[in-house]
Amino acid sequence: MRRKILSAVLAAALVIGSFAGCAKSEPSSSDAGEAGSAAKKNLTFVIVPKVVHPWFDEVNKGAQLQAKALSEQLGVEVKIDYRAPQTADVAEQNTVLEQAAATKPDGIALDPLDYEGNKAVIEEIQKQGIPVVLFDAPAPEGSGLTSVGNDFAEQATIAADKLAELIGHKGKVAVMQGVPTAPNHAERYQAHLDALAKYPDIVVVDGGIDNDSVEEAQSQAAAVLAANPDLKGYLNCDACATGIAAAVEEAGKKDQVTIVSMDNLIEILQYVKSGTITATSSTIPQMQGSMAVLMMWQKSIGIDIPKVVDTGIAYIDSSNIDEWIEMVK
């Protein structure tokens, strides 16, 4: 994965670098004050995830690779300032954003816990001339923000349809939420429900809320398994399926409950390898970090950037698990 991402990053940086001089003559009005950053000797871009979590560590890896590639291409030092809130709390995330903005970085990439709760802080940062982009989250209509990620509804639909197929389109399925206010988690949750609604013989039960915590996912799943001894399948909305898998193994139901999860953390891939998780639908976090930095850099030098950067969806099961473990480890 790292080799592939780095190759893609280098290619993108080379292409963008070739037309950057032309594009600088047409900065967007809102970003006019941001133009000129390219003249700085060094550049610093901030990554603010929802919370401390291994999934975001992978985002940071991609961001670091992009920074390295840009440093080599631009001949300046490009730094990544990774600032993860300790808890999934909007007020804490806003404090992190404000502290990051006070350092006058060249851009901030945010995975919002609750866009409406973050909105005022985001707008204040933009007034300071600091470019802001979102990653792993859709950009709200009218916000003018760029979203780096994928079609979260499509990602969830792929997982739900696959689970339905694996259990013969009938039986009881639990769906666990992540952070309910997080736009991407909410979108995936609704897409799961919409996809399962297509199958009249599937009964959906509340799978709990993990709030982006693997430990909470395990605790919630254990309770759901105890309350639903006839459960056939489990879906979730974030990168916490290892908690569900641990609970299923503890309950001795590895061969009774089929799990189709989200994302490609090495811990999740190892559960796919062992068979406790049957398959996973991944947002490719490394690519999100890489592209988020690239978008911040472009915006910092006054280039118009796309509203949506789609980093793709990977489907991983026993047929390609060895390849993915080799790429991610």
Strands 258-262 and 279-282: parallel
- Residues 164-185 have a mean pLDDT of 95
Average pLDDT score, the chain:
89
CA distances from 68 to 59, 78, 88, 151 (A): 14, 7, 29, 28
Helix (H) or strand (E) holding 233: strand 231-236
Give me the pLDDT at residue 284, please: 86
The per-residue pLDDT for range 30-66, each reduced to its tens digit, is 444 444 444 557 999 999 999 998 889 999 999 999 9
pLDDT tens readout for residues 206-223: 999 999 899 999 999 999
pTM of the model: 0.73
pLDDT at 29 over 80: no
What local confidence, expressed as pLDDT, does residue 39 receive?
A: 53
Give residue 328's pLDDT. Answer: 81
What is the distance between the alpha carbons of residues 169 and 261, in angstroms, rounded to a whole number?
Answer: 17
In sequence order, which residues have a C-beta less than 8 Å from that of residue 27 and are 6 or more positions away? 34, 35, 302, 303, 304
Write down the pLDDT at residue 7: 44
pLDDT number for residue 54 = 87
Q: With beta carbons less than 8 A apart as the criterion, state whether 53 and 46 touch.
A: no
pLDDT tens figures, 110-162 = 999 999 999 999 999 999 999 999 999 889 989 999 999 989 899 999 999 99
- Neighbouring C-beta atoms of residue 57, cutoff 10 Å: 16
